[in-house]
Structures are given as structure tokens and as C-alpha cells.
Amino acid sequence: MSVGVYDVTDGKTVYLMLPEGLSGDQFYLTNLAWDPSGTSLYIAWLNRDTNQIKLMCFDATTGTFVRTLFTESDEQWCEPEQPVHFIPGNPREFLWFSRRNGFNNLYRYNTDGVLLGSTRAAFEIDDIIGFDPLGASVFVHARGINPTEVHIYRINLPDMQMTRCGDTPGVHQGQLSGSGQYLLDTYSNLEVPSKTDLLSASGKVERNLLTSPNPLQEKRYGQTELFTVNGTDGTALWCRLIKPSDFDPTRKYPVLVYVYNGPHVQLVTNNWLGGASLWMNHFAEEGYLVFTLDGRGSAHRGEAFEQAIYRQLGTAELEDQLAGVAWLKQQSFVDSTRMAVHGWSFGGFMTTALMLKAPGTFKAGVAGGAVIDWNLYEVMYTERYMDTPAQNPEGYAAADLSRIVKNLQGKLLMIHGMDDDVVVLQHHMRFVKACVDNKVQIDTFLYPGHAHNVRGKDRVHLIRQVLDYVKENN
């Protein structure tokens, strides 16, 4: 890998020269940023094992390596996702995101690599909204004590102290004015479809600009509850349960579990409809409970929560999903003999794993775009969580679902886009071939012309197919 700087005036390209010992081909160069003067480039060098980061500075004119500002390492994985953010009015200071204390925090450095301060939040800071023009403070989106919510925080840069702007529960999206004096705060929660307030920089509500009416107020639709259940290790796991609008606690209802439970995704959020797609509320009106749980490995709960999956994809996640199933079975209104599961991509992997590693739990499963063998998946993503196949052959073998097709009980529909360039079609074909070889009967469906997700008008066909299959077999 190399990075070149192209000069638009003379058409020449200068390539950055890595220091001795860091060249070769077993590394990544990522999170590139210019300094305010446009004369230096800052890049995060990441090793192939993704357990070490070096933040490096280069002369953009000559390509010469200037210095390594600092090095970070982690026994499981490092994952730099944002470049340096220079502080307005101070071209020698910048902010850097790091999870070195277990949660995503901001660290203030100077360009010599000297640490000047940091936030100390025991929750995730997601991203930067903007700086005030003088560079005295920065506004961010952060989780706070409830990971299903997003709030706006102001950070005072001299001491890196954080102050929350507003106290309304929900998922907030902030936009900072050019003057840095005002914020637009657009948010929703289970009770509020959408509101936009004008806030002062201190977080005080100056006025409400827009309150949206409930767009479904004339409709009957499933009602959403958010709560936690304890996993087998005692971790509180956030759940979403959608019930029919005419829910009767004396009845027993069949269940559809909708699952993802993979990295970088959070399904359960305290915004309008609880993060659910509207088809889930519709399906609840057809007499189903629709249940979702964000288990270990999913996003916005901190490093330890996410790294529980290290070298064993589909293990801790399976335990947590089954903890959710155990909770469901304890409810008097759940028909535990009629449970189905559905998910896409990592959720397709989890759906298939649940059908094969916990046989008999679900009567039916619908797996879309499912990863079957992690040897066939994208290198940087897979090796971050699993290391290389040579380093972790047992982990790859345990996660290869084509090896355990004989465990299948119940009905399984496998769906795949024929042009899928993320989870390539080879995954699907390998699984089907294993079923044929082992005389295991499954149902399959391919979507011609579609990539990893079935989008556009054909998505109506997809959702109808999923729900019809669940009803017919559960």
C-alpha cells in the first residue's frame, strides 16, 4: 500500500516514504488528514494483526517521514476510525479518538506528540459535531449512561470536561451554527416522533422550531417496549419487544426474533419506533411478537463488550441470543413452541448458527446474505476479530457453518443476492452443496441483479417472502 500526493499545478505525484521497518505489504494506511497549513499529512499506520497503531506525520511536499507522534496497542484489536481533528485557531493542537481506557474518548495532543489532556467518560463518544470558532470547546455526540440513547455534549478543551446539552431522553442529532453560539437539536424517542429545538451553546432550550405529529396516528401498529435482560455472564443486554396494538396478556403469541448481533451495529435504540423497521410493527399487527436483542459484540457498549467475540465469532453472540430466548420462554404470553428467527448479513450468519447450534429452538429461520465460512469474507474485517486463518484455525473451523448442516431441525430459507460483492455468492453455494452432500433439505431463493441488500421495489417482494415463510412454517 502507498499514499501519493498529486500536485494539480504540475501533474507530479510524490509518494510518502515510510520509515525503515514499517514497509513491506503487511500493514494498512488509514485515517488520512491534512494539517491546517496543507503542508503536512497525518496518517494512522495499522499493522496486519490490527493490534498496533502508529500516528505518523509526513511532509506533503517531499513525502518525507517527519515523526511518529505516538503508538497505541491492544491485545485484541485496534480500530482507528477517525483522523486527527485540528483545533480551530491552534494549528499545533488536535483531537484524537481512542479506546485506550475502554471507551471511545477524545485525547488532546500537540504536533510534537505530547498528550495535553483527555475526556474521561465511561461511555462512548461517537463523533464530533463541530468546534466553536475560537477553539475553546468542541461539541460531540455521545452515549451517556444509557447506551440506547445519543446526546449532545459540550467539551471544554482546556480541561476536557464534558457537559450534556439538554436532558430529554432519546436519540439526538446536533448541528452547530457557524458562530458556535447555537445548536439545532433534532431528536426522537418512543413517545416523540421528531422534535427540533434551538439550543444555546450552554444547552438551554431557546425555542422549539418543529414538533412533528405522529405519522401513524390514524393507523394500528405494534407497540414497542425497551428493557434489559441479563446474559449468562450477568451483563445487562438491551432488548426491544414489539407487541400487537390489541395485545392480550392472557393469550399466547408466536415470536419472530430479528437478529444481527455483529460489530458496528446497534438495533435497539430509544428513538421513534425503537430503531425498528415499520414491517416489524406491521407483523406484530398480524399476531406476532417481534423481539430483538443486542448481545455482546454489537456497538456502543465499550471495548470489553465488543471484544467478547474475539477469535470466536458466533459464540458469545449465540449465548446472548439464547439468553433472550430463555427470557421469552419465561413469559406467560409467549408460545415457546412457535418461535422463528430472521437476520441479514452478520444476522444471516447468526440466524443460520442459531438453527444449527441450538437445534429445535426455532421452528423456522430465514437467513439473508449469510456469512457461512469466514475464510471467504473480507480480510481486514475478519482478521480484526478472528486473526488470520493460520493463527486461529480452530476459531475459523468452529464458525464454519457448512460443517454442521446435519444439525438442522425445522425449516430454513437461505436468501442471497446474485451480485453480492460483500458476502459473495460462494458462501451460499458452499452451504447448499454441504446440504446436498449430507442429504439435508433447505429452501433457497436468489435475487438476480441485487448486491448485498435487496433494495428498491424488490424489497417489498423480499419482506413479503420473509414474513410469509415465517407464518407458513411457524
- What the block records as the C-alpha cell of 85 is 481533528
- Please state the rounded mean pLDDT for residues 322-350: 98
The class that CATH gives domain 223-473 is alpha beta
Residue 168 has pLDDT above 80, yes or no: yes
| pLDDT at residue number 1 | 81
| pLDDT at residue number 69 | 98
Provide the 3-class DSSP secondary structure of residue 37: coil
Give the sign of the dihedral formed by CA 442, CA 447, CA 453, CA 456.
negative
Residue 181: count other Cβ atoms within 10 Å of its Cβ. 13
- Please state the rounded mean pLDDT for residues 372-383: 97
Rg (CA), the chain: 25
Residue 194 has pLDDT above 80, yes or no: yes
Provide the 3-class DSSP secondary structure of residue 388: coil
CA angle at 123 for the pair 117 and 127, rounded to the nearest 5°: 70
Q: Are 296 and 306 in contact (CB under 8 A)?
A: yes
Residue 22 has pLDDT above 90, yes or no: no
Question: Per the residue annotation, which of 345, 400, 402, 428 is the catalytic one?
Answer: 345
- 200 counts as catalytic: no
Residue 25 has pLDDT above 90, yes or no: no
| pLDDT at residue number 65 | 97
88 vs 37, 57, 94, 404, CA distance in Å? 12, 19, 9, 56
Strand 334-344 to 289-293 pairing: unpaired
Which residue from 41, 100, 49 is spatially nearest to 310, judged by alpha carbons?
49
Residue 277 has pLDDT above 90, yes or no: yes
| pLDDT at residue number 150 | 98
DSSP state of 409: -
Q: Are 397 and 374 in contact (CB under 8 A)?
A: no
Residue 24 has pLDDT above 80, yes or no: no
User: CATH topology of 4-165 equal to that of 223-473?
Assistant: no
% of the chain with per-residue pLDDT over 70: 100
Provide the 3-class DSSP secondary structure of residue 364: strand
- Please state the rounded mean pLDDT for residues 53-68: 97
The pTM (predicted TM-score) of the whole model is 0.96
Residue 349 has pLDDT above 80, yes or no: yes
Q: Are 443 and 414 in contact (CB under 8 A)?
A: yes
- What the block records as the C-alpha cell of 67 is 515523526
Q: How far apart are CA 206 and CA 219, in angstroms?
A: 34
Question: Which of 109-118, 196-205, 256-265 has the lowest average pLDDT?
Answer: 196-205
**Domain locations in the chain as residue ranges:** 4-165, 223-473
Q: How far apart are CA 110 and CA 385, in angstroms?
A: 32
- 40 counts as catalytic: no
- What the block records as the C-alpha cell of 308 is 467478547
- Please state the rounded mean pLDDT for residues 45-71: 97
- 345 counts as catalytic: yes
Q: Are 30 and 80 in contact (CB under 8 A)?
A: yes
Query: Which tens digit of pLDDT belongs to each residue from 403-436?
Result: 999 999 999 999 999 999 999 999 999 999 999 9
DSSP letters spanning 446-466: EETT--SS--TTHHHHHHHHH
| Type of residue at 411 | K
- What the block records as the C-alpha cell of 198 is 434551538
The class that CATH gives domain 4-165 is mainly beta
Of the pLDDT bands very low, low, confident and very high (cuts 50, 70, 90), residue 203 is confident
Query: Which tens digit of pLDDT belongs to each residue from 105-158?
Result: 999 999 999 999 999 999 999 999 999 988 899 999 999 999 999 999 999 999
% of the chain with per-residue pLDDT over 90: 95
Residue 23 has pLDDT above 80, yes or no: no
Q: Are 255 and 331 in contact (CB under 8 A)?
A: no
Quote the mean pLDDT of the chain.
Answer: 96
- In sequence order, which residues have a C-beta less than 8 Å from that of residue 212 and are 6 or more positions away? 193, 194, 195
| pLDDT at residue number 134 | 86
| pLDDT at residue number 255 | 98
Query: Which tens digit of pLDDT belongs to each residue from 298-330?
Result: 999 999 999 999 999 999 999 999 999 999 999
- Long-range pairs for 20-24: beta carbons < 8 A, 24 or more residues apart: 22/54
Q: How far apart are CA 53 and CA 77, in angstroms?
A: 10
| pLDDT at residue number 21 | 80
Q: Are 222 and 241 in contact (CB under 8 A)?
A: no
Question: Per the residue annotation, which of 85, 188, 420, 428 is the catalytic one?
Answer: 420
DSSP letters spanning 4-32: EEE-TTT--EEE--PPTTS-SSSEEEEEE
Which residue from 364, 328, 365 is spatially nearest to 349, judged by alpha carbons?
365
DSSP state of 277: -
